[in-house]
Chain A
Amino acid sequence: MEYFFELFLGGLTRGSIYALIALGYTMVYGIVQLINFAHGEIYMIGAFTALIVISVLTMMGWNQIAILLIAAGVAVIYSSAYGYTMEKIAYKPLRQAPRLSALISAIGMSLFLQNYVLLAQTSDFLPFPGLIPDFEFMEPYAHIIGSPELVIIITTTIVMISLTFLIKFTKIGKAMRATAQDRDMAMLVGVDVNRVISMTFIIGSATAAIGGVLIASHIGQINFYIGFIAGIKAFVAAVLGGIGSIPGAVLGSLILGWTESFFTGYISSDYEDVFAFIFLVVILIFRPAGILGRSTAEKV
């Protein structure tokens, strides 16, 4: 039973990370119907930014928790700036173009950012310090769940709750929902759609950066390629939950996290990705629009 709990919490941790990244995919898709393939790169850039800040501050001998918070803050700001700029450069000029063009542009952006980091940094794996300390009160449970996992789960929960609040109750949230449902009409009732789209990219990038910092400090190493795998997994999670739906992205991520965790725990860790994708295929056969996605009949 204890083993089951361990796997359960491990899956929850993975799922939380996927969710932080999947949010960006699903929000952007909901608003501009674009699969932003460069989103995983934003997450990678978040991790790199944090590493640079951490290295500098560690040399100055700061307190660990302060370093972590500042690094996460800088990573969020930096990644948001990247997300914002990326939309302006690569997607906004193509907004009236066929959807495939924007998709190609996204793939190009993804390759560009990967190679940019490869050239600017290095192709090697860089060690990322595990800055989350082991809390004393966690000691009795340490064999089931570590402090870093706990921090990841709690952080994700806080981010999700704030995001739900933002979307449901604030002015920008309403504007986002309106834009997602009918962009032209939103403009006609005075919504500045360009601003809404920018905000969507900024929010998505910020959550991805938080995910980047958390998982990098959990796993302990990063390189320029981590965005690709994490991005694909999160994208799968978003599709699984029903792309365009925020609760769907969270649900899809958790399911993916648990699937991986349980299959690797009970069967074999060699086929982790295989299990995840088999599960995806099976779900999509029965629910083509994802678990919470609505299959919309095209109006004629």
Chain B
Amino acid sequence: MDMEPILDVKQLTMDFGGLRALDSVDLDVSQGEIVALIGPNGAGKTTFFNCITGIYDPTGGDIMITAPKNGRTQRINGIKPNLVTEKGLARTFQNIRLFQNMTVLENVMIGCHCRMKAGILGAVLRGISTRREEEAVIQKSYSILKKIGLEKYVNEFAKNLPYGAQRRLEIARAMATEPFMLLLDEPAAGMNPQETRELDELIVKICETEGISILLIEHDMKLVMSLSDRIFVMDYGKKIAQGTPAEIRKNPAVIKAYLGEEIDA
């Protein structure tokens, strides 16, 4: 399966003053893959996400994306987050960042808007095409919420949802932007085992039925091992290993990073 990667990160480097948070990190994701990025706390995983999604402008390296739709390859270093989203990358956050005072439906509708054409004049004048578009957005938002299993909460405020549902709503909102790839930052954080199992199924479903590739940061090793096609491991801003879950489990560098060096007797 030697496909061209849809996300190809080469030699990505990010400095904060004198601190090198990312040091020449390479990573690639192919169409239809679930890839995990793991590493001890402070390894630079979230910084890596922030660089890709335009929150940080990386100091060096290339972030190349190839949208499966048209096969065009582009370099997206340092472009604004809303443009990254428009190009087809969507993300969720480690700490939940929903629009708390908006309803569940509105949260998802906001995500849909970046694919809408109607401008401000249309919104004010409410022409037929604008209204039709609004209708379509509501329909689409409903269908996404149904897929994610949140249809019973449609008109609740986001802040009133149970924790697990809030996490799923973040995924729903990200999906509404019609991405070809989802970046999930610790989606299972704070979930109980039951919720984690459901999340596992949900992620597989999104990948298989929607054709959305997944890149996720996760600390729950059970989830990572069962879910991922490939795993990248980072420590102190460097990539220290990559491979299938079976390979990673046996990799001495990874074991060292997580557990410390073995003391020879």
B85 touches A190 (CB 8 A): yes
Interface residue A189 (Cβ < 8 Å from any Cβ of B): yes
Assess A184 versus B81: contact at CB under 8 Å? Given A174-B106, A189-B173.
yes
Interface residue A178 (Cβ < 8 Å from any Cβ of B): yes
Interface residue A159 (Cβ < 8 Å from any Cβ of B): no
A189 touches B123 (CB 8 A): no
A187 touches B80 (CB 8 A): yes
In the complex, what's the smallest C-beta–C-beta distance from A162 to chain B, in angstroms?
9
What 1/0 flags go to B64-105 for Cβ under 8 Å of A?
Answer: 000000000000000011101110001101000101111000
Which segment of B3-11, B114-122, B246-254 sits at the interface?
B114-122
Which segment of A55-63, A164-172, A233-241 sits at the interface?
A164-172
Interface residue B212 (Cβ < 8 Å from any Cβ of A): no
Q: What A residues does B177 contact at CB under 8 A? A: 189-190
In the complex, what's the smallest C-beta–C-beta distance from B107 to chain A, in angstroms?
8
Assess A199 versus B120: contact at CB under 8 Å? Given A177-B99, A189-B177.
yes
B99 touches A171 (CB 8 A): no
Q: Which of B81, B100, B123, B176 contacts A187 (CB 8 A)?
A: B81
16 additional A-B residue pairs with CB within 8 Å, beyond A177-B106, A189-B176:
A170-B123, A172-B123, A174-B106, A174-B110, A177-B101, A178-B99, A181-B102, A182-B97, A187-B80, A187-B85, A188-B53, A188-B84, A188-B90, A189-B173, A190-B85, A191-B113
Please provide the chain B residues from 158 to 205 with a CB less than 8 Å away from any CB of chain A in the complex: 173-174, 176-177
B102 touches A188 (CB 8 A): no
Of all chain B residues, the one with the shortest Cβ separation from A199 is B120
Q: What A residues does B106 contact at CB under 8 A? A: 174, 177
Interface residue A186 (Cβ < 8 Å from any Cβ of B): yes
Interface residue B39 (Cβ < 8 Å from any Cβ of A): no
In the complex, what's the smallest C-beta–C-beta distance from A297 to chain B, in angstroms?
14
Q: What B residues does A178 contact at CB under 8 A? A: 99, 102, 110
In the complex, what's the smallest C-beta–C-beta distance from A191 to chain B, in angstroms?
6
Count of chain A to chain B residue pairs whose CB atoms are closer than 8 Å in the complex: 77
B123 touches A171 (CB 8 A): yes
Interface residue B241 (Cβ < 8 Å from any Cβ of A): no
Cα A27 to Cα B115 in complex, Å, equals 26
Cα A190 to Cα B118 in complex, Å, equals 15
Interface residue A193 (Cβ < 8 Å from any Cβ of B): yes
Q: What A residues does B134 contact at CB under 8 A? A: 171
In the complex, what's the smallest C-beta–C-beta distance from B180 to chain A, in angstroms?
14
Cα A244 to Cα B168 in complex, Å, equals 29
In the complex, what's the smallest C-beta–C-beta distance from B113 to chain A, in angstroms?
5
A185 touches B97 (CB 8 A): yes
In the complex, what's the smallest C-beta–C-beta distance from A204 to chain B, in angstroms?
14
Cα A186 to Cα B53 in complex, Å, equals 13
Q: List 10 A-B contacts (CB under 8 A).
A: A174-B110, A177-B101, A178-B110, A184-B97, A186-B99, A187-B81, A188-B85, A189-B111, A190-B82, A191-B113
A190 touches B86 (CB 8 A): yes
Interface residue B263 (Cβ < 8 Å from any Cβ of A): no
In the complex, what's the smallest C-beta–C-beta distance from A163 to chain B, in angstroms?
11
Cα A174 to Cα B107 in complex, Å, equals 9
The 6 A-B residue pairs with the shortest CB-CB distance, nearest first, are: A190-B114, A187-B81, A190-B85, A170-B123, A185-B97, A187-B82
B110 touches A175 (CB 8 A): yes
B102 touches A174 (CB 8 A): yes
Interface residue B124 (Cβ < 8 Å from any Cβ of A): yes
A172 touches B55 (CB 8 A): no
Interface residue A192 (Cβ < 8 Å from any Cβ of B): yes
Assess A189 versus B90: contact at CB under 8 Å? Given A177-B99, A199-B120.
yes
Assess A171 versus B80: contact at CB under 8 Å? Given A181-B100, A182-B97.
no
Cα A189 to Cα B123 in complex, Å, equals 19
Assess A186 versus B110: contact at CB under 8 Å? Given A166-B123, A171-B118.
yes
B99 touches A181 (CB 8 A): yes
Q: What B residues does A174 contact at CB under 8 A? A: 102, 106, 109-110, 113
Assess A189 versus B85: contact at CB under 8 Å? Given A174-B113, A177-B99, A182-B99.
yes
